[in-house]
Structure 1
């Protein structure tokens, strides 16, 4: 009988030694928060942000209004296209220099430039919602990123063969749908395997790739001066990404866990530990936060934006995130597109705006871990808003004042780029894994709504766009006062985990 008892109790004793941990705890204790594995995975995944920059900002060069040369040989404002006879002037660079030159999008047709740009951002808004849901559900982060990049490369190439304006608008819409999913999926996929103390800095660093893509775009546009060649050239990197990078990217262990695929999640965690020169003990098992039991570890958890709205803890957070993202996007994309109205060198201005974003990312990445997410959101929003208001006060058209307004725009981009990047990590931390991409997708959709309005604001030219951008920046900073601080708080997996973890931390309003 004694031997029988030992045979029965031995397995039970082994089971009792199992240690259940959530992903953050396992990263801290056994895998490493940001070692060589995370660095490689982060760099590969975030390359997708440069692709999104190409698909988004290519419109600055493809849809710009080229310089006009009159029959007398004069160029610029002295040659009025709207009042001159059709044969008395020509576009510098030829009729294929841009969509404006090829399809005559000037004078009474000028609104079509802003319209097609808004259509692209409308597609981004649709895509953010679609891919936000797909990446949280059966496709996962990696699968959604793969499909988004494939669609972008296909429709980007189709755009180059547009026979008319309306076909061009349709292809830009579908490119926007796919581009709206690239940054969203890449961001979550890159940051979810990172430990809690390193996640803020890693999340802030993703936008280096977006700005790097913008900085490269003027060179690509210079090498491919016609808009059709430019669209093909800016789509090829996406094809290379699918072939050379996607196969080496891992799916998020957090997605595996909430989908009930604990074994898959453990495989990735052991891979992370091995890549970092560490080892996950055999008796350690992943579990959802605050649900450390064998009965719940394989449960598939599915959430939606409806669950976010139902929860008193996340409802107000969602509203604030949506409104601030909307205002921030009007300023960021508005300042980026407004370079065509400044009367300065287009290639240089776009490059300077992109370069101005880089130190903003570095400074905010350092400061958010010192002062917190909330204070830095307020400061960067107000910094951008103040300089935009200064730019609105400059109404003299002389060359010197053009330079001053350009500097105000660069400083506005500097502040808003820091905010735009910060909002991603902030929003990610405000919601649990089970609905994180859905909530981030909702905020991204609001951001795209702001981007839809931005080209229409830019059409007015003059001081008005700067006044709008300044107002949005100041208002956004005021609203940020009502968000809770998330510095050094866990990245929760479930609503239950978040409620238990913050029961002693009252919601800040």
Structure 2
């Protein structure tokens, strides 16, 4: 999808209500799915304390869950681009419920780890699909806000998991309790969600994109007049009538657009074209390494809370509460840019993790 195409849909979204009833309802639904994914991810915090092989359980199960996120992220990202965000989320919820039940009926460690590995795929589908969908029903100026609003539900899910686990002490029953709701959420996603207007436009399905945008306008009680189909026709007419004296920018835009009837469809080769830019590759590698480091640290802290001294239910709930505070801080720093804040927080997090290791060592020495 070209930046010109995106601009058309974004302008319409800006005019028909950026953060009103429709967007808030979509945010609420996606938050429910995020809660389900959070509870399924961190349920091992409570199951690891109820197993005979506790010493090897957390490390192995956590490692294979993280490994599962690698193919999960790659596959579900491609799937969302091919069949749409709505279907990807729906499939993810169904599979998460199925793999969760399989985990509950595991008869040994190997079976448990296999189901945890495959559970990572639908978790990635829900995580990425919901984040993409919610950002594609608002204009760019509100995307950071809705994503942070969405991830609040991850911290809430962690706190709710502590409540579930407190009343459900058997690990098999707990797995079933956090898995069965996915079968209820699955039809909700199918019936209540609309497909992303951005994705529909990128696939050349202009009438369907128009219908979704009209529904957004109706829910938000906006009477602005617009036509996605006319936008597309006007853009095609402009391209076909241009003479050879085009500006450099116009030439670049036209070179990325096809003269065929479905010229806005996504071209997979465009992704590879981006990798030919050295600066983009460097940024991509830095962000990927930073995400890897953050993910490793988060997995160790979140899942390791079950092995800390003290009450496991309180420890896990505190972890969820800290996440809510962190998300609130992120809202405050949105206007300040990204680079400096990212460097500051990564440095602070690294120092805190290293310091925690020294604290543990000093405490063990004193005893």
TM-score in terms of structure 1 length: 0.62
Match of 1:62 among 29, 35, 47: 47
Q: 1:278: which partner in 2?
A: 222
Take 2:289 and 2:133, find their aligned partners in 1: how far apart are those partners? 25
Say whether residues 1:386 and 2:351 are aligned partners. yes
Q: Normalized per residue, which structure has more helix?
A: 2
Q: 2:122: which partner in 1?
A: 178
- Aligned to 1:206, what secondary structure does the other structure show? helix
Q: 2:67: which partner in 1?
A: 122
Which consecutive residues of structure 1, in runs of 5 or more, have no partner in the other structure?
1-19, 65-97, 403-509
Take 2:345 and 2:231, find their aligned partners in 1: how far apart are those partners? 38
Take 1:40 and 1:170, find their aligned partners in 2: how far apart are those partners? 36
Structure with larger RCO (C-alpha < 8 A, sep 6+) = 2
Residue 307 of structure 1 deviates from its aligned partner by: 3.8
Residue 59 of structure 1 deviates from its aligned partner by: 0.8
Q: Which has the larger radius of gyration?
A: 1
Q: 1:293: which partner in 2?
A: 236
Contact 2:36 2:157 in 1 (8 A): yes
Output one character per residue of 1:319-355: Cα deviation in whole Å (capped at 9) or x when no partner: 2221111011011111112223431221111100100
- Aligned to 2:43, what secondary structure does the other structure show? helix
Match of 2:31 among 46, 54, 74: 46
1:130-279 equivalence runs, <5 A: 130-137=75-82, 139-279=83-223
Take 1:283 and 1:112, find their aligned partners in 2: how far apart are those partners? 56
Match of 2:8 among 22, 33, 39: 22
Contact 2:86 2:189 in 1 (8 A): no
Take 1:38 and 1:297, find their aligned partners in 2: how far apart are those partners? 31
In angstroms, what is the RMSD of aligned CA positions? 2.4
Contact 2:9 2:228 in 1 (8 A): no
Say whether residues 1:314 and 2:302 are aligned partners. no
Take 1:342 and 1:307, find their aligned partners in 2: how far apart are those partners? 47
Q: 1:337: which partner in 2?
A: 303
Contact 1:308 1:314 in 2 (8 A): yes
Task: Give the 3 Å change call, closer, same or farther, for CA 308–144 of structure 1 in structure 2.
Answer: farther
Q: 2:268: which partner in 1?
A: 303
Residue 280 of structure 1 deviates from its aligned partner by: 3.7
Task: Give the 3 Å change call, closer, same or farther, for CA 236–180 of structure 1 in structure 2.
Answer: same
Contact 1:266 1:286 in 2 (8 A): no
Residue 380 of structure 1 deviates from its aligned partner by: 2.2
Output one character per residue of 1:105-146: Cα deviation in whole Å (capped at 9) or x when no partner: 15xxx3353112211221122111111001011x11111111
1:482-497 equivalence runs, <5 A: none
Residue 382 of structure 1 deviates from its aligned partner by: 2.3
Say whether residues 1:363 and 2:329 are aligned partners. yes
TM-score in terms of structure 2 length: 0.85
Task: Give the 3 Å change call, closer, same or farther, for CA 124–182 of structure 1 in structure 2.
Answer: same
Residue 296 of structure 1 deviates from its aligned partner by: 6.5
